[in-house]
Amino acid sequence: MPLSSLTGTRLRERRLAAGLRQADVAAEAGISASYLNLIEHNRRKVSGEVLDRLALLLGVDLSAVAKGVDAALMAGIQAAVARGGTDASGTVGAEIDRQDEFVSRFPGWAGLLVALDTRVQTLERAIETLNDRMTHDPHLSQSLHEVLSSLSSVRATAAILAETEDLDPEWAGRFHQNLHHDSERLAAGAEALVAYLDAGSDTAEQGIAAPQEEVEDWLKSHDWAIDDATLSSGLDSEIDGLASTAARSLARDHLARLADDARVLPLAGFVAAVDTHGPDPFALAGVFGCDPLVVMRRLAGLPGLDAGLVLCDASGTLTFRKPAAGFPMPRFGSACPLWPLYAALGRPQQPVEAVVEMAGQGGRRYRVQAWASPRYPFGLRGPELREAGMLILGAEPEAVSTLPIGSSCRVCPRGDCPARREPSILSAAA
Amino acid sequence: MPEARRGEPLSQHVLLIEDEPNIAEAIRFILSRDGWRVSHEADGSAALERVRKDRPDLVILDHMLPGMSGLDILSALRADPETVALPVMMLTARGRDREMAEQAGANRFMSKPFSNAEILAEVRSMMGR
């Protein structure tokens, strides 16, 4: 059972809270007091029967102890440090070697830190969006050019009229005419500019929330499972409630696809087949004669299975992320290049399967199955589009060989990784 | 009116490449009154031919032109041995354009909206007057 490095600390806290002596507890558990002392100071890993007995004696919820610190919170803290934790010289200010302790002792503060970090990212994205708009928007650029041009003309012409003492009446008339014409242009240009800026004042439209995250949050509020009847009737009112146009469009596309999947694999027959063959996308695709990606999406929407799912396009960009417990997925940037998802992307139509061990999750293992399908929307001579999917299912402790992977290089503690893209902020502490 | 310069036998020649007719008219007026001979071209694609034909002493070049952009014209001028050293003042609207104009080999810049006095002072200084 994967254990947090703080299991001993928790046991000690419970013993002290119960007012029990170390020697008494050790005797009851059938171990020496010095051994218990080592366990309590996290110097010996404790597992199996000894842990069961200690947990029983101290009235500790074993699953809570074994689960250790909140993996999502931990991943959030690591991401926060990765993004903003270094000073100008590249030194990490935060005590990374004690982040376990921080998250478990102060989950509220840690949560606040993660929330603040998320907010900073959101604001940074909004600034980037606005900046892009200022520099690349052709309408804005055109309006500004128009205003500056007419203003230049007004200024030069007005100065001639004001400063030339012996101006020929014919020239004066001409410049007055130009001035009139340019002031009209200036007014029209300014109006266009104001209208443009007014129309774009909806903050939700300016990328304050990433559309993909908005859709994922919404699906999460449905526990990632939308039943077939709801799919076929649609969820228009809820989708209309999403903040950005992009999110509404993504949500509609996603639901349409789920509805198609439901038609290919109706629930009753699908559940019966899962009971017979297990949640195996390759076996089930064979049974139903359909694309394994359809099976993966169906499995990810099956209540109670807790299957994680990631989808990516041919550039490797994650287009859909349904997390599995203890399997952190990067919110921004690229994921771990060792994910079997990418192996499948490079070998379309071939099953890729592995048992993986996610870095920094106490040796937690997952069975992952990946598949990629090519598509030719403009016919075989048109561009080839690929989509890859990776289904993530719960731990298999007895697995013999595992593939060590991570979430994303910056927050991955693996020191000897051949696929490393950039230094980790954690490797020093790991 | 600068009387002293009126009698100069060969007044120096400025070619103004600018598509906004009213800006062109104003600049033309100011420079002519200061004793410069000014010709004008509004179309970017005809500008290079005009430079070859007119052989001006100085070019005032707008950044945004129809046909061929001011930067393209400048690059072509700098690539030609005949015009590699021709003094060019660029009229730009944005800071970013200025950086690109500098790289393309502009001698001076003038940001819109400029004042008449600034234009005059720059032209005089470029021509050593």
Q: Which tens digit of pLDDT belongs to each residue from A12-24?
A: 877 887 888 989 9
Smallest Cβ distance to A145: which of B22, B64, B96? B64
Q: Is the pLDDT of residue A314 over 70?
A: yes
Longest dimension (CA), chain B: 42
Question: DSSP E strands: which ranges in A296-419?
Answer: 308-313, 318-322, 352-358, 365-375, 385-393, 403-405
**Can you read off the two tokens belonging to residue B108?**
């001076």
Give the model's pLDDT for residue A200: 56
Tell if the CB–CB gap between A156 and B114 is shorter than 8 Å: yes
Give the model's pLDDT for residue B3: 42
User: What is the identity of the amino acid at A102?
Assistant: F
In a domain, A234, yes or no: no
Q: Residue range A184-208: average pLDDT?
A: 70
In a domain, A222, yes or no: no
**Can you read off the two tokens belonging to residue A257?**
């696809």
Confidence of residue A282 (pLDDT cuts 50, 70, 90): very high
Contacting B residues, span 34-63, partner chain A, CB-CB under 8 Å: none
Tell if the CB–CB gap between B64 and A171 is shorter than 8 Å: no
Tell if the CB–CB gap between A152 and B23 is shorter than 8 Å: yes
Angstroms from B82 CA to nearest CA on chain A: 31
The domains of chain B are located at: 11-126
A156 and A49 part of one domain: no
Put simply, whether B95 touches A (Cβ < 8 Å) is no
| pTM, 2 dp | 0.54
Best probe of the A interface among B112, B115, B120, B123, by most A CBs < 10 A, is B112
Give the model's pLDDT for residue A4: 52
Smallest Cβ distance to A152: which of B1, B25, B114? B114
Please state the separation of Cα A91 from the chain's center in Å.
26
Q: Which residues of chain B lie closer than 8 angstroms to A184, CB-CB?
A: none
Tens-digit pLDDT profile for residues A17-52: 788 898 998 998 888 888 889 888 877 777 677 888
Q: Is the pLDDT of residue A416 over 80?
A: yes
Q: Residue range A291-319: average pLDDT?
A: 92
Interface contacts (A, B; CB < 8 Å): 59
Q: Which residues of chain B lie closer than 8 angstroms to A153, CB-CB?
A: 20, 22-23, 26
Q: Which residues of chain B lie closer than 8 angstroms to A163, CB-CB?
A: 116
Tell if the CB–CB gap between A148 and B93 is shorter than 8 Å: yes
Tell if the CB–CB gap between A164 and B33 is shorter than 8 Å: yes
Which of A127, A2, A128 has its CA nearest to residue A394?
A2
Q: Residue range A241-253: average pLDDT?
A: 86
A123 and A201 part of one domain: no
In a domain, A426, yes or no: yes
Q: Residue range A237-259: average pLDDT?
A: 87
Instruction: Quote the ipTM score.
Output: 0.85
Q: Which residues sit opposite A318 in a β-bridge? A: A312
Q: Residue range A291-298: average pLDDT?
A: 95
In a domain, A395, yes or no: yes
Tens-digit pLDDT profile for residues A144-179: 888 888 999 999 999 999 999 889 999 999 999 999
- Who has greater pLDDT, A57 or A370? A370
Tell if the CB–CB gap between A145 and B26 is shorter than 8 Å: no
C-alpha distances in angstroms, A43 versus A56, A153, A203, A362, A378?
Answer: 21, 80, 52, 16, 62
- Who has greater pLDDT, A272 or A125? A272
Residues of A with CB under 8 A from a CB of B: 135, 144-145, 148-149, 151-157, 159-160, 163-164, 166, 171, 174-175, 178, 181-182
Q: Is the pLDDT of residue A370 over 50?
A: yes
Angstroms from A360 CA to nearest CA on chain B: 46
Tell if the CB–CB gap between A175 and B26 is shorter than 8 Å: yes
Smallest Cβ distance to B27: which of A154, A156, A166? A156
The residue assigned the tokens 């949500």 is A251
User: Which chain B residue shows the shortest CA-CA distance from A171?
Assistant: B29
Tell if the CB–CB gap between A178 and B22 is shorter than 8 Å: yes
Smallest Cβ distance to A182: which of B1, B22, B29? B22
Tens-digit pLDDT profile for residues B21-49: 999 999 999 999 999 999 999 998 899 99
- Who has greater pLDDT, B93 or A316? A316
Give the model's pLDDT for residue B5: 46
Q: Which residues of chain B lie closer than 8 angstroms to A157, CB-CB?
A: 22, 25-26
A294 and A430 part of one domain: yes
In a domain, A285, yes or no: no
Q: Is the pLDDT of residue A5 over 60?
A: no
Least confident of A218-232, A384-398, B4-18: B4-18
Most confident of A129-133, A213-217, B7-11: A213-217
How far is A235 from A237, CA to CA, in rounded Å? 6
Counting the structural domains of chain A, the total is: 4
Smallest Cβ distance to B22: which of A145, A153, A171? A153
How far is A214 from A219, CA to CA, in rounded Å? 9
Q: Is the pLDDT of residue A207 over 50?
A: no
CATH number listed for the domain at residues B11-126: 3.40.50.2300
Q: Residue range A231-235: average pLDDT?
A: 80
The answer to whether residues A310 and A389 touch, using CB atoms and an 8 Å cutoff, is: yes
Put simply, whether B6 touches A (Cβ < 8 Å) is no
A25 and A120 part of one domain: no
Q: Is the pLDDT of residue B1 over 60?
A: no
A296 and A430 part of one domain: yes
Cα Rg of chain A, angstroms: 30
User: Over pLDDT 70: what percentage of chain A?
Assistant: 88
The residue assigned the tokens 């139903």 is A288
Alpha helices, DSSP H only, in A289-381?
292-300, 340-346
In a domain, A125, yes or no: yes
Give the model's pLDDT for residue A279: 92
In a domain, A256, yes or no: no
A50 and A33 part of one domain: yes
In a domain, A409, yes or no: yes
A197 and A76 part of one domain: no
Alpha carbons within 13 angstroms on the beta-carbon side of residue A312 total: 25
Best probe of the B interface among A149, A154, A176, A178, by most B CBs < 10 A, is A149
For position A343, which CATH number holds? Answer: 3.30.450
| Owning domain of residue A63 | 7-68
The answer to whether residues A186 and B60 touch, using CB atoms and an 8 Å cutoff, is: no
Q: Which residues of chain A lie closer than 8 angstroms to B119, CB-CB?
A: 156
Angstroms from A157 CA to nearest CA on chain B: 6
Measured on CA atoms in the order A102, A103, A104, A107, is the torsion positive or negative? positive
Put simply, whether B102 touches A (Cβ < 8 Å) is no
Tens-digit pLDDT profile for residues A93-143: 778 778 777 888 888 898 899 889 888 888 887 787 777 767 667 777 778
Least confident of A179-183, A196-200, B3-7: B3-7
User: Which chain B residue shows the shortest CA-CA distance from A147?
Assistant: B113
Give the model's pLDDT for residue B69: 87
Q: Residue range B97-117: average pLDDT?
A: 86
First to last CA, chain A: 21
How far is A55 from A151, CA to CA, in rounded Å? 80
